[in-house]
Chain A
C-alpha cells in the first residue's frame, strides 16, 4: 500500500516534468532577449571585459557572486564544525 503510494507520486512528478519538457519549444530563438541584447551590446564598454559571462558574474550580478562566496565560506565553516565534533569523541581525527 505504501509502495503503491510512492509509485503514484513518482509517476505524477515524472509526468509533470516530462510534459513540461515536451511542451517547451526549443527553436534556437529565445523569446525575451532584451536584457541579454543590452549586455552583449554594452557589456564590453561598461565592464571592460571581453568575456561577457565574467562581466555578468562579477559586475552586473556582483551581489549574487558575493552571496555565492559567502555560501562557500559557510559550507567550509559547517564542515569544519562537524568534523571537529567528530574528532573529540573518537580521538582518531586530526583536523585541527
Chain B
C-alpha cells in the first residue's frame, strides 16, 4: 500500500477530477475538474512510471551521479502540460462566451437545448 503511493495518488486525483466534472453544476468548476485529471493525475502517473530509485534528473550539467531517471516520460509530461494549458484556455474562452450569452454559468439553467 505505502510503497505504491504515487500510483494510488494519481488514481485518486483522476477520481476526484471525475467526481468534480460529473457532480458540479458550475462550468468553471467542471473545467477545473478536467484540469485536475489531465494536469494532476496523468502527470503524476507519467513521472512515477519513469522513476528509478536513487536516480537524478537526466541532465549532465553538474550531475551528482550517472544513475538517471527515464527521460522519455518527462518529455511526454512536458507535452502534456502544454496541451493541458491549451485545452484549458480554449475551454475557459468558451465558458466566457457561454456565460455572457446566457447570463449564467450554471448548466441546469441553460434551457436552450431542453426546449
Q: Do chains A and B touch in the complex (CB under 8 A)?
A: yes
Q: A residues within 8 Å of B by Cβ?
A: 6, 9-10, 13-14, 17-18, 20-22, 24-30, 33, 35-36, 39-40, 43-44, 50-53, 55-57, 61, 64-65, 68, 71-72, 75, 78-79, 82-83, 85-86, 90
User: Which of A21, A50, A57, A71 meets B78, CB within 8 Å?
Assistant: A57
Please measure, in the bound complex, the distance between the C-alpha atom of A33 and the C-alpha atom of B50, giving whole angstroms. Answer: 9
Contact across chains for A52 and B58 when beta carbons are under 8 A apart: yes
Contact A27–B60 (Cβ < 8 Å): no
CA separation between A94 and B79, bound complex, in Å? 32
B115 within 8 A of A: no
Mind listing 6 A-B residue pairs with CB under 8 Å?
A18-B11, A24-B4, A30-B51, A50-B60, A71-B86, A83-B93
Closest Cβ neighbor of A19 among chain B residues? B11
Q: How many whole Å from A25's CB to the nearest CB in chain B? A: 6
Chain A residues near B10 (CB-CB < 8 A)? 21
CA A52 to CA B57, docked complex, whole Å: 9
B18 touches A53 (CB 8 A): no
| Residues in chain A near residue B100, CB distance under 8 A | 86, 90
Contact of A18 among B12, B23, B54 (CB under 8 A): B12
Known contacts: A50-B61, A53-B71, A53-B75. The answer to whether A20 contacts B52 by CB under 8 A is: no
Q: Give the number of chain B interface residues (Cβ < 8 Å).
A: 48
User: Judging by beta carbons under 8 Å apart, are B53 and A20 in contact?
Assistant: no
For residue B8, which residues in chain A have a CB less than 8 angstroms away from its CB? 18, 21-22
Q: Which residue of A lies closest to B58 (CB)?
A: A52
The 9 A-B residue pairs whose C-beta atoms are closest, nearest first, are A28-B53, A21-B11, A26-B4, A52-B58, A36-B70, A17-B11, A56-B75, A21-B8, A75-B86
Given contacts A22-B8, A30-B52, contact A75 B75 (CB under 8 A): no
Given the complex of chains A and B, what is the CA–CA distance between A72 and B86 in angstroms?
A: 6
Using known A-B contacts A30-B52, A52-B60, A53-B71, determine if residue A86 contacts B11 with beta carbons closer than 8 Å: no
